[in-house]
Amino acid sequence: MRILGTIVLGFLFLIAFGAFFLFQSVTGYPGDTEAVVSTLRAADVRTATLDTLEAQLTEKVRAEAEDPVFAEFALSQSRQVIDQVITDEWFYSTIGQAHRGLVDFLESGTDKVRIDLTETKDRLRRMLWEAGRHGVEVCDAVGGDRACYDSARDLQRTLEVYRRQVDATMAGVPDTVNLTWLLTRGGVEPGAVEGSSELAEAREGLQRLAMVRWAGLGALLLLLGLIVLVNMRSLPRMMVNAGIVLALASAVYLGAVSALSAWLGDAMEEKVAAERAEAASQGEPEFGHVAAGRVVTEVFSRMTGRATVPVSILLIGGLGLLGGGIALHIVRRRRKQPKVRTVPPPPPFAGPMPPGYYPPAAQ
C-alpha cells in the first residue's frame, strides 16, 4: 500500500511540477525588466530600430530630392550619425526605464517614468544637418551633374529641402516616452488611462496570477509532504523516494523545455524565412520581418527557460536526497549485523587455558 501511494503521489507531483514551473516562467517573464531587455539585446532590436529610422529618412529624402547626387551623399553619412547618437547603452537603458515604468504603473498605479527624448532628437537633427552641409561642400568631389558652386541658390534650396525632410522624420519620434504614450501611441493627455476598464481588468488579472502561483506552490509542497508522510516509518526510504520523485520531475521538465525550445526555434526560423522571401518578392525591406522573427524566437526560448536554474538546483537536491538515503540505509544495515566472535583453537596440550579462550558451547 505504501508503494502504491508513493507511485500515485509521485505521478501527481510530476504533473504539478511541470505545470507550475512552466506557468511561473511564462507569466513571470513579461514583468521582468532585466529579462525583457536582455531578450531585446540578444535579438539585436537596436539594429532593426536604426534600420527603420534610416529607411524612413531615406524614403523622405529620395522622394523629394533636389539633387540626387547630394541626396545620396547625405544619406551615406546618415547611418554613421544615427549610430553615434543612439548608442547601444542609451537605447537599451531607455527601453528598460520605459518597461519598468509600465510594470510599476500596472502594479501600483503610478505613471511616474518620463523619458525625455528632446535633447537626443535635437542632437540627431543637428548632426544630420551637419552631414547635409558637408554634402554641399563636397558636391563637386562626388561627381555632380552640375557645377555645385555655380548654382549656390539651387544648393541652398536643396539643403533647405533636406533639412525639412530631416525635421519631418524627427517629428515621428515622441519628445517624451511615458506610460500614456506607450499605451496610446501618443495624442492622449497623461492620466487619461488611469480610470479605464481595461486597466482595471489588467490589474485584476495580475492579482489572479499571483494567487494561482501561490496555490500552485502550495499544491507542490502538499504533494511532497504527503510523499514524506507515507514513507515516514523509514528515514532512508523516505529520503530515497522523495529524492527519486524530485529528481525525476526536474529531469523531465528540463528535457521537455529543451525539446520545446528547439521545436519552437525551428518553427520560427521557417516562418521568418517565409516572411523574408515574401517581403523580398513584394519589394519591402526584409529587416523588419527578420527582427520580428528574432524577437519572437528569443522570447519563446527565454520564457520557457527561465526556470532552468532553480529546477537544476532541485535536480541536484533530489539526487542528493537519493544518495543520502542510500548511504544511510547501508550504514544502518551494517550496524544491525551481529559481530562475529572468533574462538581461538584449543590448546595443543593439557594445561591452563590461554587468556581470551572460550570453550565451544556444548552440542
Task: Give yes or no for residue 143 having a pLDDT over 80.
Answer: no
In this prediction, residues 153-171 reach a mean pLDDT of 76
Lowest mean pLDDT among 174-178, 239-243, 337-341: 337-341
Host H or E run for residue 176: strand 176-177
What angle do the packed helices 88-108 and 33-42 form, to 10 degrees?
Answer: 150
**pLDDT bracket for residue 230 (50, 70, 90):** confident
Lowest mean pLDDT among 111-120, 144-153, 195-204, 217-226: 144-153
**pLDDT bracket for residue 151 (50, 70, 90):** very low
Residue 36 has a pLDDT of 86
Nearest by Cα to 56 from 292, 272, 296, 288: 288
Residue 319 has a pLDDT of 92
Phi-psi region of 186 (alpha: psi -120 to 50; beta: other; left: phi over 0): left
**pLDDT bracket for residue 345 (50, 70, 90):** low
Task: Give yes or no for residue 166 having a pLDDT over 50.
Answer: yes
Lowest mean pLDDT among 55-64, 145-154, 214-223, 346-355: 145-154
What is the percentage of the chain residues whose pLDDT exceeds 70?
69
**Which grid cell sits at 329?**
540505509
Model pLDDT for residues 183-226, shown as the tens digit of each residue: 555 444 545 555 556 667 777 777 888 888 889 889 988 998 88
In this prediction, residues 259-266 reach a mean pLDDT of 77
Instruction: Decide: pTM greater than 0.85.
Output: no
In this prediction, residues 139-157 reach a mean pLDDT of 53
Host H or E run for residue 177: strand 176-177
Which range is most confident: 64-78, 260-274, 324-338? Answer: 324-338
DSSP states of 95-147 as a string?
HHHHHHHHHHHHHH------EE-HHHHHHHHHHHHHHHHHHHHTTGGGT-SS-
Residue 279 has a pLDDT of 65
In this prediction, residues 328-337 reach a mean pLDDT of 81
List the beta bridge partners of residue 177: 115
Model pLDDT for residues 76-86, shown as the tens digit of each residue: 778 888 888 88
Model pLDDT for residues 31-75, shown as the tens digit of each residue: 888 888 888 888 788 888 888 888 878 887 777 666 666 677 777
Residue 181 has a pLDDT of 55
Residue 99 has a pLDDT of 82
Written as one letter, the residue type at 117 is L
Residue 353 has a pLDDT of 61
Distance CA 137, CA 131 (A): 10
Burial of 218 (C-beta count, 10 Å sphere; 0-12/13-18/19+):
exposed
Residue 330 has a pLDDT of 87
Distance CA 44, CA 271 (A): 18
Task: Give yes or no for residue 29 having a pLDDT over 60.
Answer: yes
Task: Give yes or no for residue 152 having a pLDDT over 60.
Answer: no
Task: Give yes or no for residue 30 having a pLDDT over 90.
Answer: no
Alpha carbon distances (Å) from 346 to 297, 339, 342, 359, 362 = 84, 21, 12, 8, 14
Task: Give yes or no for residue 125 having a pLDDT over 90.
Answer: no
